[in-house]
Each structure stands twice: as C-alpha cells, then as structure tokens.
C-alpha cells in the first residue's frame, strides 16, 4: 500500500527552489562562511597588532627579519641558477642549513656560531679524509673495522671535550658540528669512492653560507651584543632607581590614591627590578657573544665585558633588598598612617638621594665617563641623620614603656609558672586545649607519659608566643622598623654598586668626569689587567 504524503511535506523533502537545495542547508553554510570570515579578520588584526607592537618595542627585530629573508634568498640561488647547481649539486642544501642555524640576532652570536661551524667543518673534513686515506689501503673487512673503531674513539673523545668548562662555554657548537660532519663523511666514505669531492662540495657550501651570514651581520645594520649589554646595565640601574622611588612613595601615600590607579597596568615597582633579577643568564650570554665581536677602536686592549657581568651580580644583590622593601607594602601587620607620617619626610628624602645616585651612575655608564667624586653627597648623610633623629625622638614606639615592661614580665612569669605546674602535675591548661584533645588522650595511653608531655609542650609554645606578641606595646611600629632598616641597608649596598661601576670605568678607560664638558678624550695610561683570560679580542664600541 502506497504511503500518502502531504503536498507540503513532499515539497519540503524534495527541496525548494530551482536547484533543489534546502534553505536550511544554505543558511548553515552562509553562517559558517560568515563565522570563518570574521575569525580570519580577527586573526589578521591580532597578528598585525602583535607584529606592530614587536616592531615598536625594538625596530631591530624587523631589520633582522629582512636580513634573514635576504640571506635565504641569496643561498637559494645555488639551487635556482643552473651553473651553480651543476657545480655544487645537492650539497647546496648545506648552505641553506648554515644560514638557518648560524644567522643570529646579534653580530657576536653570528660570529660565534659561524666560526664554530667553519672550524668544526674544516677539522672534521681533514680528519675524515685522513682516516679514509688510511682505510683504503686495507681489505674490506679490516676497513670496516677500522672505520668503526675511528668513529667510536673520535666520538668518545669529542663528547668528553664538551664537558670541559672552557670548551662548553666557547666551542660547544663547533664540537657538535665536528661530530656531525666527521661521522657523515667517514661512514659514507665506505660506500662512496670519491670522498674528496664530498668534502670539497660541503666545505664550499658551508663557507658560502657563513660568508653571507657574516657579511649581513657585520656590515648591514649590525646589531652588537656589546651595546646590548652596555644598554641593559644602564636600564637596570634606572629600573632600580624607579622601583625605590615608587615603593617609598606608595608606602607613605593615602590608600585612596592607590585605589584610583589602574589595576590592569603592571606594577611599576615590580617592573623596575624584574629585569635585574632575571639578568644573570642574559648578561653572561651577551658577554660571551660580545667577546667574539671585532673591536674598531685605536686601543689595543680587550674590552672588559666580564666586568659588566660583575656589575650585574652586584645589582642583583642590591635588587634583593628592593624586593624585601616592596614586600613591606603587602605585610599583614601594617603601621598606622599616623605613625608613618612622623617619618615620611626623612624617608622620602633618603629614597630620593639613593634614586639620584643610581640615576647618576646610569648616566655615567651611558656616557662612558667616570663617576663624580661627590656622587655620595652630603644630602644623603643628612637624610640618614634625620631618619635616625626621627626614630630616636619616638622611644615609646620602639622601646616600650615601663608599665608595659612590667605587664610583659608578669605575663611571662605567669606562663612559666603554669608550664612548670603542668609538668609537675600533668594537668593540661584550658587555654591550650584544641579539638584534637581526644586524639592526644589516646596517644598518651599508647605512647606513655613522657611523649605526651612533649606534645603538650609543643602545643603550649604557640600560645605563649601569641601572649608575648599581643603584650607588646610597640607591635604596630615593628613593620615600619623593618621598612626603615631596609632603607638603611639599601644605602649600605649602594657603596658596593658604586665601587663596581668605578672599577668598570677604570678598566674600560672611561673619560674623566667633567660636568662642563662631555666630549673629553679618553685617558688611559696603561692597559687593563683584570680582564678574564678566556676572552677573545672584543668589540669596544
């Protein structure tokens, strides 16, 4: 029996319109296309904003990207031009690989990798050709055993050398390239007759890639690791100065001012010292790459990049004190605003003088000149004396009164008497009972009287500490005492920073300080002697 279908249902099943495509399917496809188009527009906009932000932060990134693209285009001509491809063949791919792995952001990094790769290739090719020359005079089986033994011995020795600190620091990449090239040539020589052609083509392809990378890094908008290390040291000094100033101002400002600030923005205090705390590996890497860079000055001495690393280490020690000072703003127990206001002026003056000294140090390093003899001015010592006088003028806040001392002594005697009574009679104090008393009773039965007494003494100890803390009249002044002591510690550590900066100026032969003339010639009577021996001739700006 045929099933009857309503006319409207039949029209809906067969489809509407001339093409027979259901309207619902059309609408779904249109919706998906619109969603996909919107996502692509948002992705394109987000990508463009990210690229724009990266370019604005450091325009050298865009320059480096164009340099990499140009280098890859140049080495690709070894494949695209027929005469060049006939000369190199498939070995031209090594030139492309060399550009990808060697061309770095700074000239020092490119020099380090390029020279390591070239040196490793030359040594590996020479040794592989020598081993192949000796092995060809033997039979097939002896030749295979000899090649295997050579690969084992050379691989073991080269890997052991990578653990030497000096080799690890300066030539680790070269040893890796040596192992790779040596094994490829030595093992393939067992099946290939003309090994010399393999070494020849690979060496020339890698040389072309390294030459293009060095040309782009050194001559086309060069980016020096030494300048980055120099500028980062200046930036760290300025960041610490801004952190100290912002921290002290926030400590003494009203809470309403802090609430009105934009909470979405990054904390300026943390932003100032963050770069200092995270700078150890960056400074060491920049100093290493800077030691590979050529110098273009008339002085025949090595520039003291390792002294910049020492300055960075002292700044990190200085930064830890700034971190502790910042932590005083988030402590649970805070000194009342009325008490802080009594010490506001000397603390702000002291922080201002420290900030001024740090900014002057940064300016001296930027201009490459010695520090001023009056960098620690009399105003700094006057601010310290004013803070000391202000603290001594409020003895009750920090020393307490005789009445409070008597009360504290009475509480301490009472607590000691109660503890002695508990030990003699085995009676628990009601003030130290907790919800776990049943468990203590069961444990007393299981483990005995002595262990139960020890547990009760441990439970009584926090209670006695709480009694002692609440009995202190000056407990609210303790947080400010910590804050003031950290300010004084910052002043003490400032001397070490100044000493390292002055040592940097002496070794690097900075120009003498003269407030009236900033263009004084460099004066250096003798070459520096405190430079790390492992450094190579370096770039001296």
More confident residue, 309 or 474: 309
Structure tokens at 504: 């940097």
Please write the tens of the pLDDT for every residue from 455-508.
Answer: 555 554 555 444 444 444 455 677 888 888 899 999 999 989 999 999 998 888
User: Are the CB atoms for 302 and 538 separated by under 8 Å?
Assistant: yes
pLDDT for residue 447 is more than 80:
no
Query: What secondary structure letter does DSSP report for 439?
Result: H
pLDDT at site 318: 93
What is the Cα–Cα distance from 180 to 176, expressed in whole angstroms? Answer: 6
pLDDT at site 99: 92
pLDDT at site 373: 78
pLDDT at site 314: 94
pLDDT at site 395: 66
pLDDT for residue 24 is more than 90:
no
Residue 369 β-bridge partners: 511
User: Are the CB atoms for 247 and 143 separated by under 8 Å?
Assistant: no
Domains of the chain by start residue, with CATH: 38-218 (no CATH), 225-253+267-396+473-508 (1.20.58)
Contacts 24+ apart (CB under 8 A), 510-514: 510/364, 510/368, 510/369, 510/370, 511/368, 511/369, 511/370, 512/369, 512/370, 513/364, 513/369, 513/370, 513/371, 513/372, 513/373, 514/369
Do you know the residue count of the chain? 541
Please write the tens of the pLDDT for every residue from 88-121.
Answer: 888 888 889 899 999 999 999 999 999 998 899 8
Please write the tens of the pLDDT for every residue from 408-424.
Answer: 444 454 445 445 544 55
pLDDT at site 451: 57
pLDDT for residue 432 is more than 60:
no
Judged on CB neighbours under 10 Å (0-12, 13-18, 19+), 377 is middle
pLDDT for residue 128 is more than 80:
yes
What is the Cα–Cα distance from 441 to 59, expressed in whole angstroms? Answer: 73
* CA-to-CA separations, 76 to 70, 72, 91, 212, 493, in angstroms, rounded: 10, 6, 12, 12, 56
pLDDT for residue 269 is more than 60:
yes
Instruction: Give φ, ψ of 371 to 5 degrees.
Output: -75, 155
Per-residue pLDDT band for 153 (boundaries 50, 70, 90) equals very high
pLDDT at site 8: 47
Lowest mean pLDDT among 8-17, 298-307, 343-352, 493-502: 8-17
Please write the tens of the pLDDT for every residue from 380-394.
Answer: 888 888 888 888 877
pLDDT for residue 160 is more than 90:
yes
- The chain-wide mean pLDDT, for the chain, equals 76
pLDDT at site 73: 93
This prediction has a pTM of 0.71
Per-residue pLDDT band for 6 (boundaries 50, 70, 90) equals very low
Residue range 509-521: average pLDDT? Answer: 66
pLDDT at site 265: 53
């Amino acid at each position: 029996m045929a099933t009857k279908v309503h006319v409207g249902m039949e029209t809906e099943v067969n489809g509407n319109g001339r093409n027979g495509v259901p309207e619902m399917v059309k609408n779904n496809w249109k919706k998906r296309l619109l969603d996909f188009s919107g996502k692509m527009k948002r992705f394109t906009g987000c990508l463009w904003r990210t690229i724009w932000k990266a370019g604005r932060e450091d325009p050298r990134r865009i320059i480096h990207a164009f340099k990499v693209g140009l280098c890859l285009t140049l080495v690709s001509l070894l494949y695209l031009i027929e005469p060049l491809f006939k000369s190199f063949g498939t070995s031209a791919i090594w030139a492309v690989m060399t550009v990808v792995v060697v061309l770095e952001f700074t000239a020092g990094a490119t020099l380090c990798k390029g020279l390591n790769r070239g040196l490793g290739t030359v040594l590996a090719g020479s040794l592989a050709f020598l081993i192949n020359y000796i092995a060809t005079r033997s039979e097939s089986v002896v030749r295979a055993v000899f090649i295997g033994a050579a690969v084992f011995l050379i691989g073991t020795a080269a890997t052991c050398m990578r653990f030497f600190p000096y080799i690890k620091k300066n030539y680790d990449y070269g040893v890796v390239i040596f192992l790779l090239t040596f094994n490829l040539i030595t093992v393939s020589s067992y099946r290939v007759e003309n090994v010399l052609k393999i070494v020849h083509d690979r060496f020339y392809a890698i040389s072309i890639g390294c030459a293009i990378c060095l040309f782009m890094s050194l001559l086309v908008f060069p980016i020096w690791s030494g300048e980055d290390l120099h500028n980062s040291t200046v930036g760290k000094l300025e960041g610490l100065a801004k952190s100290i100033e912002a921290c002290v101002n926030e400590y003494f400002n009203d809470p309403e001012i802090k609430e009105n600030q934009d909470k979405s923005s990054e904390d300026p205090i943390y932003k100032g010292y963050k770069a200092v705390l995270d700078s150890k590996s960056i400074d060491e890497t920049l100093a290493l790459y800077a030691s590979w860079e050529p110098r273009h000055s008339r002085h025949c001495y090595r520039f003291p990049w390792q002294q910049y690393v020492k300055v960075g280490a002292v700044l990190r020690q200085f930064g830890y004190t700034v971190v502790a000072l910042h932590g005083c703003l988030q402590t649970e127990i805070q000194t009342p605003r009325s008490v802080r206001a009594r010490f506001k002026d000397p603390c702000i003056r002291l922080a201002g003088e420290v900030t001024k000294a740090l900014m002057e140090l940064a300016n001296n390093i930027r201009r490459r000149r010695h520090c001023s003899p009056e960098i620690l001015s009399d105003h700094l010592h006057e601010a310290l004396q004013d803070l000391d006088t202000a603290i001594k003028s409020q003895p009750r806040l920090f020393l307490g009164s005789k009445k409070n001392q008597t009360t504290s002594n009475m509480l301490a005697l009472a607590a000691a008497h109660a503890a002695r009574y508990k030990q003699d009679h085995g009676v628990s104090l009601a003030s130290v009972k907790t919800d776990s008393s049943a468990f203590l009773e069961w444990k007393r039965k299981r483990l005995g009287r002595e262990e139960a007494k020890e547990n009760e003494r441990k439970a009584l100890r926090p209670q006695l500490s709480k009694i002692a803390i609440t009995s202190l009249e000056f407990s609210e002044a303790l947080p400010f005492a910590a804050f003031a002591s950290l300010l004084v510690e910052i002043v003490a550590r400032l001397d070490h920073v100044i000493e390292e900066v002055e040592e940097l100026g002496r070794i690097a032969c900075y120009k003498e300080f003269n407030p009236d003339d900033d263009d004084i010639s460099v004066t250096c009577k003798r070459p520096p002697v405190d430079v790390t021996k492992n450094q190579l001739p370096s770039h001296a700006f």
